[in-house]
Structure 1
Amino acid sequence: MTASIFALAGLIFWISFNTAQGTNIRSDESMLRLSDLIQDRSDKNAALDEKTAAMRSDVDALLHRDDDRSAADDKRLGALEKSAGTQKLRGSAVTVTLTDAPPNATPKVSGVPDPQPNDLVIHQQDLQAVVNALWQGGADGIRVMDQRLISTSAVRCVGNTLILQGRVYSPPYKVTAVGDVSSLRDALDDDPAIQNYQEYVKAYGLGWKVDEHDSVTLPGYSGTADLHYAKPVD
C-alpha cells in the first residue's frame, strides 16, 4: 500500500514537472505571458484584416474595370453588398457604452445584497442583448468596438474580455448602430434583458451610456465570409 502511494506521488510530480518545464506554473508570470500571446495574436489578426480589406478593394476595382455588367447589374450588386455589410454605411446613429463597475463597488440602493464578482462585470449576454435590441429596432448596420457585424458575426466573452472575429477587446465596450435614432432608443428601453441590466446599473454602478449622433460612418466588414458549418440551401 505504501509503495503504491509513493508511486502515485512520483507520477503526479513527474506530470507537474513535465508540464511546467522547470517553471512555476502557479505564478502570475506564466499567465502574463499567455495574456501577451493573446494580445499579440489579436494585433496580428487586426493587421491581416487591414491587408485583406486593401486587397479586396483592389480586386473589386479590377472587376468593375474589366467586367461587362450592365448598370442594372451594378445597382443590384451594390444593394447586395450593402445588405451583406461589406460596404461603408453612413447615417444617424446611437452608441451604447457598457463598462465594468469598480472592483470595490458597494450597493448603491438599500435592500440590495453585497455584490459578487460576477455582478460587477459585463457579460456576454449583456452585449448580446444590446446588439439584438438594436437589430430589433431596425438598425441598418452595427459596429462593435471597431468592427462591423455581419450575419455570421458572433459576440463572445471569455471572462471579462470580448472575442470578436479573431480579435480581443477589454471594456469599456462600445456598440454603434446606424438607423432611426428614436426607434433604436425605444428598442433599447423596451428590451427585458437590458431592463434587467439596468437594475445592476442602479445597484452596483455598472456603466451604461447612450449617445446620439447626427452622422456616423460604419466601416465595411473586411474579414472572411466563408461558412464553416452552415451550408447554403440549393
Structure 2
Amino acid sequence: MSKGRLPGLAWGSATLAVCLVAGLLLGTTRGVSDGDELRVGDSPRLSDLVRAAQAQADDLAATRDDLSERVAQLQARAATTDSDVAAVLDDLSALEDPAGLTGRRGPGVTVTLTDAPRNADGRYPSDARPDDLVVHQQDVQSVLNALWTGGAEAMAMQDQRIVATSAPRCIGNTLLLHGRTYSPPYVVTALGDPGRLEAALAAEPGITVYKQYATRFGLGYTQQTGDDLSVPAYTGGASAR
C-alpha cells in the first residue's frame, strides 16, 4: 500500500509547487505593472514614437533658435564697446560661409528619388520584394557622394543644409536627418558646375544600380539642372546627424 501511495503524494507535491510558482508570477507581474495590463491593444506604434520624437525635436529647435538670437544680440552689443570682441566676431564671420552657416544661390543640379508606385490594379509587381520598391540609405548616399565628387560647393536635402557631419539615415520608408523625419520624395540640391555634377552622377556605380531598379520596378529618379538654385544655411548644432 505504501508503494501505491507514493506516486500520489509526489503528484500532489508537484501540483502544490506549480500553484505556488504561478501565484508568485502573477503577484510579481501585478506589482511591476502597478495593476495595469502589460500588453494592451493600443500599445504605441513605431510611427507614434517617431511623431512624438519629431514634436520634441521641433520644440528643442525652437528653443535653440531663440537662444541663438539672444546670443547674437549680446554679441552685437559687446562688439560696439569691446574691440577684441569685435575682432573675434569678424574672424568667426569669415568662417560662416565655409561652414555652411550662410544660405547660397547659384547654378547646380537637383536630384529627386521616390519610392515605386502601385500598378493600376493597386498592386505592386509580382516579382518584386518590398526592398525593391523603396529608396534605401545607400541610394541617398550614392547621390550625395557623387555630387561631392563632382565639386558641389553647397548642398541641401529636403529643406536642410548638408554639412560635413551630416548623416542621413533611412528608417523603414522614412529618412532621418538632423533629428527630423521625412517621407519620399527625397530631393537633393547641389550648387556647382552643372556639367561636372552630372558627369559625376553618371559615373557613380550606386546610381547606375538604382536606375536599373527604377526601370524594372518603377522607382523614381529625376535629374534637373538650374541656373538659380538655392540652399539654406545650416541651423543645427555642432554635431550634425
TM range (shorter): 0.7 to 0.9
User: Which residues in structure 2 correspond to 1:68-83 (within 5 Å)?
Assistant: 68=83, 77-83=92-98
**Aligned partners of 1:136, 1:148: CA distance in 2, in Å?**
17
Decide which of 187, 199, 202 is 2:200's aligned counterpart: 187
In structure 2, do the counterparts of structure 1 residues 139 and 160 end up closer, same or farther at CA, with 3 Å as the change threshold?
same
CA contact (8 A) 2:99 2:163 kept: yes
2:237 counterpart SS class: coil
The letter of the residue matching 1:47 is: A
Aligned to 2:238: 225
Q: Does 1:105 align with 2:120?
A: no
CA contact (8 A) 1:105 1:205 kept: no
In structure 2, do the counterparts of structure 1 residues 118 and 94 end up closer, same or farther at CA, with 3 Å as the change threshold?
same
Decide which of 91, 110, 135 is 2:148's aligned counterpart: 135
In structure 2, do the counterparts of structure 1 residues 217 and 227 end up closer, same or farther at CA, with 3 Å as the change threshold?
closer
**Aligned partners of 1:190, 1:179: CA distance in 2, in Å?**
17
Decide which of 215, 218, 226 is 2:228's aligned counterpart: 215
CA contact (8 A) 2:107 2:193 kept: yes
In structure 2, do the counterparts of structure 1 residues 125 and 72 end up closer, same or farther at CA, with 3 Å as the change threshold?
same
Q: Provide, for residues 138-186 of structure 1, a one-character-per-residue CA deviation record: whole Å limited to 9, x for no partner.
A: 0001101111111111111111111111111111111111111111111
**Aligned partners of 1:48, 1:184: CA distance in 2, in Å?**
37
Q: Normalising by structure 1, report the TM-score.
A: 0.76
**Aligned partners of 1:58, 1:215: CA distance in 2, in Å?**
32
CA radius of gyration, larger in: 2
Aligned to 2:133: 120
**Aligned partners of 2:181, 2:115: CA distance in 1, in Å?**
16
Q: Provide, for residues 48-97 of structure 1, a one-character-per-residue CA deviation record: whole Å limited to 9, x for no partner.
A: 4543554465466456655637x998886544221111111121121111
**Aligned partners of 1:88, 1:129: CA distance in 2, in Å?**
24
Q: Does 1:30 align with 2:49?
A: no
1:152 counterpart SS class: coil
**Aligned partners of 1:72, 1:47: CA distance in 2, in Å?**
29
Aligned to 2:171: 158
Aligned to 1:111: none
Q: Provide, for residues 82-131 of structure 1, a one-character-per-residue CA deviation record: whole Å limited to 9, x for no partner.
A: 11111111211211111100253327xxxxxx110011011111111111
Does 139-148 or 216-225 show the bigger shift? 216-225
Q: Provide, for residues 168-219 of structure 1, a one-character-per-residue CA deviation record: whole Å limited to 9, x for no partner.
A: 1111111111111111111111100000100011000101111222112221
In structure 2, do the counterparts of structure 1 residues 227 and 23 end up closer, same or farther at CA, with 3 Å as the change threshold?
closer
CA contact (8 A) 1:52 1:223 kept: no
**Aligned partners of 2:228, 2:81: CA distance in 1, in Å?**
34
CA contact (8 A) 2:165 2:239 kept: no
The unaligned stretches of length 5 or more in structure 2 are 1-13
The unaligned stretches of length 5 or more in structure 1 are 108-113, 229-234
Aligned to 1:89: 104
CA contact (8 A) 1:87 1:221 kept: yes
Aligned to 1:110: none
Q: Does 1:203 align with 2:216?
A: yes
**Aligned partners of 1:88, 1:20: CA distance in 2, in Å?**
55
Measured on the aligned residues, the alpha-carbon RMSD in Å equals 3.6
Q: Normalising by structure 2, report the TM-score.
A: 0.74
1:195 counterpart SS class: helix
